[in-house]
Amino acid sequence: MTTLSYSHGAGGTTLLGDTIGANLDRAVAAWPDREALVDVPSGRRWTYAEFAARVDELASALLNSGVTTGDRVGIWAVNCPEWVFTQYATARIGAIMVNINPAYRTHEVEYVLKQSGIRLLVASVSHKTSDYRAMAEEVRGRCPELREVVYIGDPAWDALIARATPDPVHPELSCDDPVNIQYTSGTTGFPKGATLSHHNILNNGYFVGELIDYSEQDRVCIPVPFYHCFGMVMGNLAATSHGACMVIPAPSFDPAATLRAVQQERCTSLYGVPTMFIAELNLPDFASYDLTSLRTGIMAGSPCPVEVMKRVVAEMHMEQVSICYGMTETSPVSLQTRMEDDLEHRTGTVGRVLPHIEVKIVDPATGVTVPRGTSGELCTRGYSVMLGYWDEPEKTAVAIDRGRWMHTGDLAVMRDDGYVEIVGRIKDMIIRGGENIYPREIEEFLHGHPKVADVQVVGVPHERYGEEVLACVIPRDPADPLTLAELHAYCDGQLAHYKVPSRLELLETFPMTVSGKVRKIELRERYAAG
């Protein structure tokens, strides 16, 4: 009898019914003197009791500034303690925190400010080439609902905090109330605001932490951006729901600063997308860092090449590293590998379903669940599915069907053991002369070439075949780069002829999102003309 591509995560641990503020109170009661947050760049650190006091102080200040339950508070900032205080303070009073990508410029930030109706904006003053103050001042006059902008590290921040009163903040809130809006990276048009509840993101952070055995003994190095679910849910909420410590290595990703933070703070867990781990492993002085405190961590965002995973386990001591798969609209994680999984499951799959979540794989054309071993669109359902896109019911209805299944747009295969392989995006799939080609398979194979440090495969237009396969390669040694003839020789007899890249481009870096994902659409557009 055929087994269908459906799986439900039965869990022995029940879902949390708390709000984020109530859950933080539980952590403070259990571990008041354990460290909750360390900011390595500034040397500042807080115990759970001290952290909660700062959160309550900011919550009071926001209330006394006129922010009430349901109001939107924007945060447009790089990683810093004030970002984390804002996350928990807005949750404490029932405000909805709106994450704004630090890479956004005036056109994009103006759209988000207006679309979500942000009342108060917390922003960095500047970072690298970004002058947030100048950009915010340029657009604020065109955003009628924006009443105040507060810059972190500026006298305005101190003035905001000065409004706090010593009265405790305990508004009546429901765990199903919206608490966060995250704008998804739209490839066309404006991004959409995925609206997430306390129940969505608190439980997702908690169960991600459960599956890598977090406790109050853990110290989590978080170099991924807080504005993304990876940082604020899988990082911050996974930590505080277990009494673990959040460690900020730098305002934005810096491979050397990340490893220094792991060494200095004796971190037990490290996060990153594969390109981050590749950058750390490729540091000339990588071997000089003491990483023996590490035992686990999370890789997400894109598949991890086998050779990279081998080095992470062997040289970074992350024997219990976990792969997570998800999307902003699902809080984010739906699938995760387990600590005991072997190398093949950690690199060949994105794990199996989380507790209390359902996944299925359907025929994109009919919506019918396909047999295991058959490719189709991955869908997920459960507590983690967003409330909807902010103020966009029509777009919500396209993404979430009548059965409350979230359609991911990812092509996947479910194995007989319930583990899931992501074989590509529906929109990334290359169709060459009628043959369906999944870039991930080719990328995985090319990662084994000794001259390849990193590779991305995309489809570009071809007059005869419709599309052809382009390999974009970062050479391991720029002085001795891979040639197209060498690439063809390496693929000969190993890949079907139609999968062998017909074009090769050598790059120093890939175009990236702030969260560390490669922008394949930009590569396709850049090289579409041949």
Say which residue the tokens 């048009």 belong to.
189
Residue 475 lies in a domain: yes
Given 356, 381, 414, the domain boundary residue is 414
Are residue 244 and residue 272 in the same domain, yes or no? yes
Buried residues in 456-466 as b, exposed as e (16+ CB within 10 A): bbbbbebeebe
Residue 9 lies in a domain: no
Question: Over pLDDT 90: what percentage of the chain?
Answer: 83
Are residue 389 and residue 289 in the same domain, yes or no? yes
**Is the per-residue pLDDT at 82 higher than 90?**
yes
Are residue 227 and residue 349 in the same domain, yes or no? yes
Given 414, 447, 472, the domain boundary residue is 414
Residue 287 lies in a domain: yes
* CA nearest neighbour of 412 among 372, 469, 456: 372
Are residue 23 and residue 116 in the same domain, yes or no? yes
Are residue 448 and residue 379 in the same domain, yes or no? no
pLDDT in tens, 486-502: 999 999 888 878 899 99
Residue 11 lies in a domain: no
**In 184-313, which ranges are E strands?**
193-197, 219-221, 245-248, 269-272, 296-299
pLDDT in tens, 262-285: 999 999 999 998 889 989 999 999
Residue 82 lies in a domain: yes
CATH number at residue 483: 3.30.300.30
Q: List, as one string, the DSSP characters of 456-489.
A: EEEEEEETTTEEEEEEEEEESSTTS---HHHHHH
Cα–Cα distance, 287 to 267 (Å, whole number):
17
Given 363, 379, 414, the domain boundary residue is 414
Residue type, 505: E
What pLDDT is recorded for position 515? 60
Residue 5 lies in a domain: no
Are residue 513 and residue 365 in the same domain, yes or no? no
CATH number at residue 297: 3.40.50.12780
Residue 420 lies in a domain: no
Are residue 409 and residue 440 in the same domain, yes or no? no
**Is the per-residue pLDDT at 33 higher than 70?**
yes
* CA nearest neighbour of 192 among 331, 400, 389, 327: 389
Are residue 108 and residue 228 in the same domain, yes or no? yes
Are residue 92 and residue 219 in the same domain, yes or no? yes
Residue 422 lies in a domain: no
Are residue 410 and residue 434 in the same domain, yes or no? no
What pLDDT is recorded for position 435? 78
What pLDDT is recorded for position 59? 97
Cα–Cα distance, 391 to 386 (Å, whole number):
13
* CA nearest neighbour of 375 among 365, 383, 385: 365
- Cβ(121)–Cβ(74) under 8 Å? yes
Domain that holds residue 485: 430-527
User: What is the count of structural domains for the chain?
Assistant: 2
Task: Please tell me which of 102-106, 299-303, 344-348 the model is most confident about, judged by mean pLDDT.
Answer: 344-348
**Is the per-residue pLDDT at 327 higher than 90?**
yes
Are residue 214 and residue 349 in the same domain, yes or no? yes
Measured between its terminal Cα atoms, the distance across the chain in Å is: 49
Residue type, 129: T
| C-beta neighbour count of 240 within 10 angstroms | 30
Cα–Cα distance, 382 to 347 (Å, whole number):
26
Are residue 392 and residue 482 in the same domain, yes or no? no
Query: How many Cα neighbours within 13 Å face the side chain of 146?
Result: 24
**Is the per-residue pLDDT at 200 higher than 80?**
yes
If DSSP codes are grouped into helix, strand and coil, which group holds residue 435?
strand
